[in-house]
Structure 1
Amino acid sequence: MKNDIDSKFILSVFDKIIQHGEKKGEEHFLMGIKVYTDFDGYTLFVEDAQVQLNFGFHNKYHFNYEKEEHCEKFIKKLKAIDDEY
């Protein structure tokens, strides 16, 4: 799977999790996804138990995962959040 994902989509899902998710410290949780930022807010982190997505300056992002199927499930979770909220 090629990891092409729209930057606006990532930002939209991140915002929806912040708005509708449960806050614990500096992290927000919704539907199995956790989001938070680095200390200066320039890098966003979106993750579940198997995948981490780092989204940063100039709309550059990087996925960390072991198996392709993990990433596919992760993206489905993000789409479900985007559709539901």
Structure 2
Amino acid sequence: MRNELDPAKVLQAYENVMANGTPTEFGKIYEGVEAFSDYDGYNVYMRGNGVELKVGFHNTYHLEYDQEHLRDSFLKKVAMLAK
């Protein structure tokens, strides 16, 4: 997984969810992806289908998932949201 994600694309997807999504308890959800940030905005989170992606300060990221096919499906959806 090293360097597979382009943080700029992830942030584009995040902005798309925040602009077009419907409110949830934590942030907004759009196309099955929920997006939210921590209170200071330094970390943004996207999750869906058993996968959580955290993008932190200096464009670091961390993916949490149980199964690789879920990760792959989630990342494809994030890529689609970034367009």
User: What TM-score results when the alignment is normalised by the length of structure 1?
Assistant: 0.88
CA distance in 2, matches of 1:26, 1:75: 21
Q: Deviations over 1:34-71 (max 9, x none)?
A: 00011111110100031000100010000000111110
CA distance in 2, matches of 1:75, 1:9: 11
Unaligned stretches of 5+ residues in structure 2: none
One-letter identity of the residue aligned with 1:29: I
The 5 Å alignment of 1:11-26 reads 11-26=11-26
One-letter identity of the residue aligned with 1:28: K
Q: Percent identity?
A: 26
Cross-structure match for 2:43: 43
Query: 3-state SS of the aligned residue for 2:76?
Result: helix
Contact preservation (8 Å) 2:49, 2:70: no
CA distance in 2, matches of 1:50, 1:79: 17
Unaligned stretches of 5+ residues in structure 1: none
User: What TM-score results when the alignment is normalised by the length of structure 2?
Assistant: 0.90
CA RMSD of aligned residues (A): 1.3
Query: 3-state SS of the aligned residue for 1:58?
Result: helix
CA distance in 1, matches of 2:49, 2:38: 19
Cross-structure match for 1:27: 27
CA distance in 1, matches of 2:71, 2:9: 16
Paired residues in the alignment total: 82
